[in-house]
Amino acid sequence: MTTLLQKSPIHRTVLNNGIVVLVAENPAADIIAARIFIRAGSCNENQEQAGLAHLLSAVMTKGCDGLSSLEIAEKVESVGASLSADATSDYFLLSFKTVTSDFPEILTLAGKLLRSPTFPEVQVELERRLALQDIRSQKEQPFTVAFEQLRQTMYQNHPYAMSVLGDETTMSRLTRANLVQYHQTYFRPDNLVISIAGRVTSTEAVALVTDIFGDWQVPEVALPTLNLPEIKVEPQVTLKPQQTQQSIVMLGYMGTSVSSPDYAALKLLCTYLGNGLSSRLFVELREKRGLAYEVSAFYSTRLYPASFVVYMGTAPENTTTALEGLRTEVDLLSITEISPSALQAAKNKILGQYALGKQTNGQIAQIYGWYEILGLGIDFDIKFQELIAAVDAQDAIAAACKYLKQPYVSLVGQEAAIHEAIA
C-alpha cells in the first residue's frame, strides 16, 4: 500500500514482510542517497555488552556472504559511491550514496551486508582494538570526561548512561558470537525502514527494494520487548580532577523524549540559551564578562528522556564564577519571560537551521527515515515546525519551571579550582 501524505513529498510503502520504504523523488541531480534504519541501537544491548551495536556497525561492512572486506570496498569505490554503517542509542544505520545508474548494484550489496554479514574474526579483533583506542583517547578530552561523568550520574543503569562505545571492560569482552546473536535478533524485515531520496520514482524504488528484500521472511520469534529501568532524578555534583589548562563546567537537567508535549519548548529554550554567537550564554558570559573559551547548550532528540545540557570551558581561576554564571542564566528562564523579539529570533534560528538541514538527498533520506524509525511518522516534519512556531513565552517559562530547576553538576579541571567551586 502506497500513500502520499498530505503536504509531504514522501511516498510511504509497507512491503508484505513489514519493511517500510520511504521515497522522496528529487530529479535535480543524478544522485541517489539511501538510509536503512534498524530499530536497534545501544539501548538494545545488555549492560555488560555495552558497545556491541557500535562494534557491529564497524564490522558489518567488512565481509558478507561471498565477499571479502577488500571486495566490498572495491565494489563501492570503483563506481565512486560511498557506504558506511553507524550505531546510535536509538537505532542502527546503513547509509550509502551513488549515481543513479549504480543504485541497483549498491542496494543489492547493502542487502547482502544487512542479511548475511560474515563478521570475520580478524576484522572483529581489529575493530575492537580501534574502539578501545577511541575509548582511551576520550579519557584525555576534558569535555568528553565531563559529559561521560554527567551522563552516568543522570542515567545510572539506563542505557543512555553509557557512551555508544561502551567502556574498556565491556568492549574488551565482546565476541563474534555476541555480534551474530544481536544481528539474528534485531536484523529482520519487520524492524527495518529503507529511506531513499534522489533521481528515482517511487514505483522504481519500491520495485527494486521488493526484488532485493521481498523474499526476506519475518522470523516466527517475536522481537524482544525493551524493559528499561525508570530514570530517577536525583541531582548531585561530580568532580574529576585533571591536570588541564581549563575547567569544564557542565550542568545537566533531565528533559523529555521527542514525543512529549514539552519537547518543542525545551528545544526552543536550548536554542535561545546556547546556539551560536547571538545566544544568551555567548553574549552574557563570553562577550560581556569574558569568562568562556567556549560556551554552549544542547538538547538531543531522543526516544527516551534526553538531557538538557549547558557547559562552559573557562580558565581555572574562573571556575566558581563560571558555575554561578551558568546557573544564574538557566534560573532566569523560570522567572523572566523571554522578550517577544528574542523568542522570535530563536524560532527563526531553529526553523532556518532545520530547513538548511534538508538540502541534500542524504539529509532528506536521513530525516524522514529517522522520524519513521522513532515512531513519530513522516508527517512529524511539518508537525515539528508547527510545534516550534506555536511556543509562546508562557510555554517557555512553564517548561523551565518544570525541568530546569535543579541541575546535575559535572566539573573537570585542576583539583583546587573545582573543589573551590562547590565549597
Considering only CA atoms, which of 280, 323, 273 is closest in space to residue 299?
273
Confidence check: pLDDT of 401 > 70: yes
pLDDT above 80 for 143:
yes
Largest CA distance in the chain: 66
Spatial separation of the C-alpha atoms in residues 411 and 241, rounded to whole Å = 8
End-to-end CA distance of the chain: give it in Å, rounded: 64
Distance CA 41, CA 54 (A): 8
At 322 the pLDDT is: 95
| 50-63: pLDDT as tens digits | 999 999 999 999 99
Mean pLDDT (whole number) for 398-405: 97
The band of 1, judged by pLDDT with boundaries at 50, 70 and 90, is: very low
Whose cell is 557542565? That residue is: 250
CB of 158 closer than 8 Å to CB of 304:
yes
In this structure, are residues 86 and 32 in contact, taking their beta carbons and an 8 Å threshold? no
| Average pLDDT rounded to a whole number, residues 254-278 | 96
Look at residue 225 and tell me whether its pLDDT is greater than 80. Answer: yes
Confidence band of 5 (pLDDT split at 50, 70, 90): very low
Q: Return d(Cα 180, Cα 323) in angstroms, integer.
A: 46
Burial of 386 (0-12, 13-18, 19+ CB in 10 A): exposed
| Mean pLDDT across 289-306 | 94
User: Is residue 7 pLDDT above 70, yes or no?
Assistant: no
Which triple of cell numbers denotes residue 138? 576520550
Task: Specify the amino acid at residue 216.
Answer: W
Q: What CA–CA distance (Å, rounded) separates 319 from 110?
A: 50
Query: How do strand 63-64 and strand 92-99 relate by DSSP bridges?
Result: unpaired
pLDDT of residue 274: 95
pLDDT at residue number 190: 97
Query: Please, which pLDDT band fits residue 8 given cuts at 50, 70 and 90?
Result: low
pLDDT at 18 over 50: yes
Give the pLDDT confidence of 310-327 residue by residue, as tens digits.
999 999 999 999 999 999
Q: Are 123 and 62 in contact (CB under 8 A)?
A: yes
**CA–CA distance from 23 to each of 108, 220, 379 (Å)?**
17, 29, 14
Q: What pLDDT band is residue 247 in, cutting at 50, 70 and 90? A: very high
pLDDT on residue 292:
87
* pLDDT on residue 423: 82
pLDDT for the residue numbered 4: 43
Q: Work out whether strand 307-314 and strand 292-299 pair parallel, antiparallel, or are unpaired.
A: antiparallel
Please check the confidence at residue 6 and state whether its pLDDT lies above 50: no
